[in-house]
Amino acid sequence: MSAHWVHTWASAQQRAQPADLPPARGAGWALAGATLRQTVRCSLGGPRVRLRVSNAFGDAPLTVVRAGLAVPDGGRAGARAVAGTPLPVTFAGRPGTDVPPGALVVSDPVELPVAAGEHLSATLAFAAGTDPGGTTTHPGSRTTSHVVPGDRVHEPDLPGAAPVEHWYVLSGLEVPAGRDAGAVVLLGDSLTDGRGSTTDGADRWSDRLLERLLAAGAGGTAVLNQGIGGNRVLSDGVGPSALARLDRDVLALGAVRTLVVLEGVNDLGTAAATPDAQRAAAAGLLDGYRQIALRCAARGVRALGATLLPFGGHDGYDDPGGLREAARQRVNAHLRAGGPFDALVDLDAALRDPARPSRLRADVDGGDHLHLSPAGYAALAAAVPLDLLAAGAAPPAVR
């Protein structure tokens, strides 16, 4: 059976705020003249790997002078690679590349076999004069990256490297896989991004869902986490809105079969706690969901909707008179009634406190009554029916 390229890992990109950058060693861009090593977890195996380097939010070209791909020592994030790696990464046969502003560049394949669930480290060295005037990043990596001055891509160890808990400019890794292989994309906010999970612990709900699929023998399904902390469906805020980033973060990825949408709490939480504002926010969310489903159907992607989790008691989203809770219930009731997605994943029913349905159960609450604990993310993944993600699941409805 012929193979096609499928993402084994991806992360949603946004423009870095000053607090998201590593400390600069003088004037100019923080990563100029530096080497950056960052580790990711693959969700689909393959005999070779290629990188996707993004300058989506840069205002000028991004110059990569050298790149390498390594197996991290101990199989987890760290500054040291296993002896014999990193292997060189090339771009059209050249050691480096210039990534135009707003664009991405795909590397040549690297002959480095990887299995689903394993970690790889990608190392990039940037030109000393590089200043893209806007850094493309994923702040919520929940994984430690390492930055060191100079071009030290092919050194197995990086002594003196500064740790930083963000990813930069690396938007995806791809592997060749059989035509029956495909990807499930999780589109969401901080719950999908994994706030409350363990740094370097690989215990976000995307990780736990991958582990369930592997245990069930569904090793041909990649799980791609496209969550952004603080994200909203309708409006830009922390990162572009879900509607604005749907093409880049979902539909432009190869071999996507299924999308799971768990997003909307921040739309309700940032709308004023008045009856009119909450009614409008709920109605807008349902319109936004419909647009996502329509755009997915046009590309042959099944769109699954997840009910919104409780956030009662969260200090940041006070709820006088229960107006936000009423809006959440309206949204969830509409989803349960059958629209507008191809199928429903009722995460609210799985994680709410039966005695206080506006709140999370104590055993899954991460402590702030909005985010989950590692045990909560495992429960979230356990609530997803795996048959909805199978390669033979029903195609999207015609809309």
Conformational region of residue 42, where left means phi above 0, alpha means psi within -120 to 50, and beta covers everything else: beta
Q: What is the pLDDT of residues 222-266, one digit of tens each?
A: 999 999 999 999 999 889 999 999 999 999 998 999 999 999 999
Tens of pLDDT, residues 291-330: 999 999 999 999 999 999 999 999 999 898 999 999 999 9
Higher per-residue confidence, 390 vs 208:
208
Confidence of residue 1 (pLDDT cuts 50, 70, 90): very low
Over residues 35-68, the pLDDT tens digits come to 999 999 999 999 999 999 999 999 999 999 999 9
pLDDT digits (tens, 9 = 90+) for 192-229: 999 999 999 999 999 999 999 999 998 899 999 999 99
Cα three-residue angle 189-398-231, rounded to 5 degrees = 10
d(CA 295, CA 291): 6
Q: Which CATH class is domain 181-387?
A: alpha beta
Percent of the chain with pLDDT over 90: 87
Residue 5 is classified by DSSP as E
- Residues 172, 104: Cα–Cα separation, whole Å: 10
Tens of pLDDT, residues 284-294: 999 999 999 99
Task: Quote the CA–CA distance of 6 and 8 in Å, as a whole number.
Answer: 6
Based on its alpha-carbon atoms, the radius of gyration of the chain, rounded to whole angstroms, reads 21
pTM: 0.96
- What pLDDT, on a 0 to 100 scale, did the predictor assign at position 394? 78
Q: Residue 320 pairs with which residues in a beta bridge?
A: none
Q: From CA 153, how far away is CA 184, in angstroms rounded? A: 32
Please give the residue that has the higher pLDDT: either 375 or 2: 375
Residue 143: which of 37, 261, 242 has the closest Cα? 37
- For residues 110 and 89, the answer to whether their CB atoms sit within 8 Å is yes
Residue type, 143: T
- Are the CB atoms for 395 and 302 separated by under 8 Å? yes
Six-digit token pair at 140?
A: 């919520």
Is residue 183 within 8 Å of residue 224, measured between CB atoms?
Answer: yes
For residue 205, the model assigns a pLDDT of: 98
Higher pLDDT, 238 or 374: 374
Q: State the pLDDT at residue 2.
A: 67
As a residue count, the chain comes to: 399
CA distances from 190 to 162, 193, 205, 230 (A): 25, 5, 11, 6
Distance between CA atoms of 133 and 204, rounded to whole angstroms? 32
Taking only the tens place, the pLDDT of each residue in 95-152 is: 999 999 999 999 999 999 999 999 999 999 999 988 888 999 999 999 999 999 999 9
Give me the numbers of helices (H) and strands (E) for the chain, helices first please.
Answer: 8, 21
The structure tokens listed for 386 are: 């795996």
